[in-house]
Amino acid sequence: MNLVSIFPVITLLIGWFLKEFCDIFRSRRERRKTIGVVVSDLLEVRDRMMSYKQTLDLLRNSFQIPADAAGALSRIIESVVPPMENFQESMRKL
């Protein structure tokens, strides 16, 4: 067999392997991007929950609010703190 006759097959195989490697790297990049968005949103939720709890504890200790009134205080804090923007939309996009 002549090298000239198998050269197109070899270049075809090399091209196919390169395309497959590119597809693998592209899918990894997209997966990392999705994971980054999810982790970012989860960190935002965690931060809001921690600040909410700290605010509730600070107000309860500062004004000597009994444990029974914690529900009313929670509702007041929820009405003052703005809702998380675009959280549901970003979760739907995933």
The Cα–Cα gap between 73 and 53 comes to: 11
CB 40 within 8 A of CB 93: no
* Number of structural domains found in the chain: 1
Q: Which residues of 15-36 are buried (b: 16+ CB within 10 A; e: fewer)?
A: eeeeeeeeeeeeeeeeeeeeee
Read off the amino acid at residue 37: V
Domain span at 61: 3-93
Q: What is the pLDDT of residue 87?
A: 67
pLDDT tens-digit map of 14-55: 999 999 999 999 999 999 998 998 898 889 889 888 888 888
Read off the amino acid at residue 72: A
Q: What is the pLDDT of residue 90?
A: 66
Tokens of 83: 């809702």
CB 34 within 8 A of CB 94: yes
